[in-house]
Amino acid sequence: MTLEQRLQHIKIVPVIAINDAAHAVPLAKVLVENGLPCAEVTFRTDAAQESIRLMRDAYPELLIGAGTVLTTQQVDQAISAGADFIVSPGLNPTTVKYCQQRGIAIVPGVNNPSLVEQAMELGLRTVKFFPAEPSGGVAMLKALCAVYPVQFMPTGGVNPRNVAEYLAIPAVVACGGTWMVPTDLMDRGDWDEIARLVRDL
């Protein structure tokens, strides 16, 4: 199964900032046991690499993305930790080409026609629409979909009120969101409430 097929099956990618690597395995357990076997662990915290490694060891079946990847060094860290794919907030040709050389899929962020065309020039067919809501939301994404043969993963402002609208667009493979894995609940270790949010989703 390709990355795109796995994303289409899951539909929602939890975007997670983990402050303490000790929370990685309990969080992975909640995601897997409540029907959302996917995590995009962002490199916005120092615990990212170790969290990915712990999740990978504990739950080999979990689809793990490394998010907010800005450098080739972070690509190396994500790969060594066991990430399945890379996500970046913008389109950095150096990072994209490095991922291609290393043989790992990357989903870079774009939010306008020129960036979509640059992504296509680099051989990409799946991109992140980011930041989705500030960039024009569903209307902007539909306009891009009308002219470009690529698939999108909208992230940034996607929430329970608008996620169905995004997922209704045929070119959307999945949506990224944070609302089902709030950092404050993780920091408190409130796994029951996170489990409820994941089940509701």
User: What residues are annotated to the active site?
Assistant: 40, 128
Question: Rounded to whole angstroms, how far apart are CA atoms 10 and 62?
Answer: 11
Kindly state the tokens that stand for 25: 């395995």
Q: 181: exposed, middle or buried (C-beta count within 10 Å: 0-12, 13-18, 19+)? A: buried
Question: Rounded to whole angstroms, how far apart are CA atoms 86 and 75?
Answer: 7
The residues, ordered by sequence, that sit 6+ positions from 161 with a Cβ below 8 Å of its Cβ are none
Asked whether the beta carbons of 88 and 72 are under 8 A apart, the reply is no
Asked whether the beta carbons of 55 and 48 are under 8 A apart, the reply is no
Question: Rounded to whole angstroms, how far apart are CA atoms 132 and 119?
Answer: 17
Asked whether the beta carbons of 16 and 41 are under 8 A apart, the reply is yes
Kindly state the tokens that stand for 110: 């774009």
Asked whether the beta carbons of 67 and 93 are under 8 A apart, the reply is no
